[in-house]
Amino acid sequence: MLVISRAPRKSSGACSRSIGGRKTCLGSTCMPCYLCLILHSHFFSLLNNKTGIHFFILSCISVCLTKTEGSRDNGTWQPVIDDLELIKNMTKFIDIDAMLYTDKGQPNCKLTVMRCFLLELHVILHESDDKTLNRTVWNVIITANSTLSSKTSTKELGCKKCEEFEEKNFAEFLDDFMSTVRSLNHPSNTT
């Protein structure tokens, strides 16, 4: 039992009965102090048993764990989509006559297809002299590679090599690239 004693003062009954010649006066003491003391005593008594120690250790470990892959995918491709829209608008005024390996028909090979699209973006860097376009293409490559780097352990079986894809012009390449990125950005995606 917690007892705080003070010198007696004249009050209108805030003090209770006397203990050992002194009166206890709890009326002017702040409640958060009592709550803090109570919580501390319960916390330390929790650590005195086996269950409490296991709970404490697991709580400490859970703070260090990273998020799951599923929660990290939601919306991480949005900056890539925005940059691809910007590239699409820029290329209305820039003529790029490159034929690029493009695939749209492999729903189980999205990550492999993404890696192929990113390799083909290097061709655009080589073909284009526009500095703004090249900066935006580099931004797409860097952003997409950083997002893909978390999935390097993912293996997709039965996927074609990039050179086996159909060659299409730059406008069709961008459209297929954007649809692939949008499918990766969808929250229900589990690949």
Range in 25-29, 35-39, 44-48, 104-108 with the lowest mean pLDDT: 25-29
| Phi, psi values for residue 58, rounded to 5° | -65, -35
- Among 13-22, 47-56, 143-152, 180-189, the minimum mean pLDDT is found in 13-22
C-alpha 15/C-alpha 12 separation (Å) is 8
In Å, what is the CA distance from 10 to each residue of 18, 119, 159?
14, 86, 88
The β-bridge relationship of strands 22-25 and 100-102 is unpaired
Angle made by CA atoms 45, 50, 52, in degrees to the nearest 5: 50
The set of residues, in sequence order, having a beta carbon less than 8 Å from that of 6 and lying 6+ positions away, is 22, 23, 25
Residues in a beta bridge with 100: 168
Rounded-to-10 torsion of CA 49, 51, 56, 60? 150
Question: Binning pLDDT at 50, 70 and 90, where does residue 71 land?
Answer: very low
Q: Residue 70 pLDDT more than 50?
A: no
pLDDT tens digits along 29-43: 565 665 566 666 666
Residue 15's pLDDT is 47
Residues 70, 133: Cα–Cα separation, whole Å: 32
Strand segments (E) across the chain: 15-19, 22-25, 100-102, 166-168
Span 18-39, average pLDDT: 55
Mean of the per-residue pLDDT values for the chain?
74
Full set of structural domains in the chain with CATH: 77-152+159-185 (1.20.1250.70)
Between 90-94, 116-120, 165-169, the lowest mean confidence (pLDDT) is in: 90-94
